[in-house]
A and B are shown apart, each in its own frame.
Chain A
Amino acid sequence: MSKIGIIAVVCLAATVVSAAQDAPPLEVDPDPAPVLSGYLAFVPTWDSGNPTLVSIISPVVLVPLSRDFVVESRASFEGDFQQRNGNSGDFTGAIEKSLDYAEIDYIGNRYVTLTAGRFLTPFNIFNERLYPNWIRNTQTDPLIFPIGTGSDNGAMVRGGISVENDLNVNYTFYFSTLSTGKYFESERHAGARVSLFLPVERLEIGMSTQHVLQGTRVNRYGFHFQWQPARPPFEVRSEVAYSREEGKGLWAEGAYRFRSSPSPELSRLQVVARTQVFRLGTLPGSNPDLPSTDMKRTEFGANYYLTDGWKALASYGRTFTSAGDSNIWTVGMTYRFVIPLVPSQ
């Protein structure tokens, strides 16, 4: 233990010292002020012919306590309104309320940020970075999304280290406690994510791991990949999730934006395709949010960016299962807003 421990500490120290030789570039850093942000989404979805009016309001509040302490929170109010008789009758349904995160962040130094409270589980990247409807290219959740994601109550240490300006190493370690309180559900588990980002190539790869410290004590593993080349307006995103007990699967998505089109109208258009697969694990049903059978799904869609805030969208997908195949359609609109809560300057 002692030899390995010494090596680990020396490696860490060497990394920090070598990176610390890069002087911070700027002195300009205005005092932060509170911001209200968030998004609205209205995305009617027809799955197997049954319509669901998905309506979401999700406000984000950012409040600085000082230059280094930040409080941030996001809530979601989602109504999935369905017809009483499947595909006839009036639409009805409850509005689900959730507290996605309410955390305090402490920017310790160039390499470390500490977080405590309720935070988004840093497993793969969809949960933390791509989940809001105004960001995601395809509106339906990935089939593997319920593996390892959600919100946690606990603490987290994370940061990024630049290595010679052409490689960023990002890390996250966290643990969480069990909570069954309404709006504060959390599993007791510990996990980590490490990723490498090449800013010149705009390529990121990363791995996640999570060990559940309750119930079946399952292990979960993830792998993510994202590439957005500098010249062609094309991007690729992909995630893999594996849990021997819950299931395994992957999704891969490609999107092309007609940014270089001579037509201003066409340059706002993005076309997207995503394919995904899910396989049941050894304990089907242990994660009730996952599909109850093996499943494949391929989707094609288009997003039209009216402004940075407004996005119109439509997509078609085909779901394949042993019980039969079905279509899934979406059409809708998203709006993202940012409102400074103090006057300019």
Chain B
Amino acid sequence: MNLLKNILLLFMLGIVGGAFALPNEKRSDPSGSVASISSTERDAQWRLEGERRYRANCGRCHQAPHKLPPRAMAMAIRHMRVRAMLTDDDMKYILYYMTR
């Protein structure tokens, strides 16, 4: 039982430490990963992926895409990151899909 507690403690310390140790990757160069395709194709791909992730995650409670201004949607998606356990990638793709 003590071993289990120790593992749990170390895991928690690790992830809390990671919150400050890892770089905060809020911006990225989209051309770095998809340089070989046009911006139109890239936009379509991101929308499609955003819609897929919206349906898989948000669609479990929401009936249809609820359109909001981009800044309000940026707020709502942060709220749902906590409430609905979205991953960082889910958050960005869905935000892209919901604001275009």
Contacts and interface: CB of A to CB of B under 8 A. Distances in A.
A105 B75 CA distance: 12
Given A111-B18, A128-B83, A197-B85, A8 B7 contact: yes
A254 B16 CA distance: 38
Given A4-B6, A109-B24, A158-B85, A340 B68 contact: yes
B37 interface: no
A83 interface: no
Interface stretch (A26-34, A271-279, A324-332): A26-34
A226 interface: yes
A31 B71 contact: yes
Interface of B is mostly: helix
B9 to A, nearest CB: 9
A320 B55 CA distance: 37
B69 A340 contact: yes
Contacts of A113: 81-82
Contacts of A32: 71-72, 74-75, 78
Contact of B82 (A16, A35, A105, A162): A105
Contacts of B30: 25-27
Contact of A338 (B14, B70, B76): B76
Contacts, number: 204
Interface stretch (A51-59, A66-74, A89-97, A285-293): A66-74
B13 to A, nearest CB: 9
Contacts of B63: 305, 308
Contact of B88 (A1, A110, A197): A110
Given A22-B89, A109-B23, A342 B71 contact: yes
B96 A26 contact: yes
A33 B71 contact: yes
A12 B14 contact: yes
Given A33-B72, A62-B76, A345-B70, A192 B14 contact: no
A160 B82 CA distance: 10
B26 A67 contact: yes
A192 B70 CA distance: 34
Given A33-B74, A108-B20, A130-B61, A26 B28 contact: yes
Nearest to A24: B28
B44 interface: no
A109 B25 CA distance: 7
Given A28-B95, A108-B18, A112-B18, 4 more contacts: A1-B2, A26-B96, A109-B18, A110-B87
Interface of B: 2-3, 6-8, 10-12, 14-16, 18-20, 22-30, 32-33, 46, 49, 52-53, 55-57, 59-64, 66, 68-76, 78-79, 81-90, 92-93, 95-96, 99
28 contacts: A4-B7, A9-B10, A9-B14, A24-B25, A24-B26, A25-B30, A26-B30, A26-B93, A26-B96, A27-B29, A28-B96, A33-B72, A33-B74, A64-B75, A70-B82, A72-B79, A105-B78, A110-B25, A110-B87, A110-B88, A158-B82, A160-B88, A161-B87, A173-B12, A199-B56, A338-B76, A340-B68, A345-B71
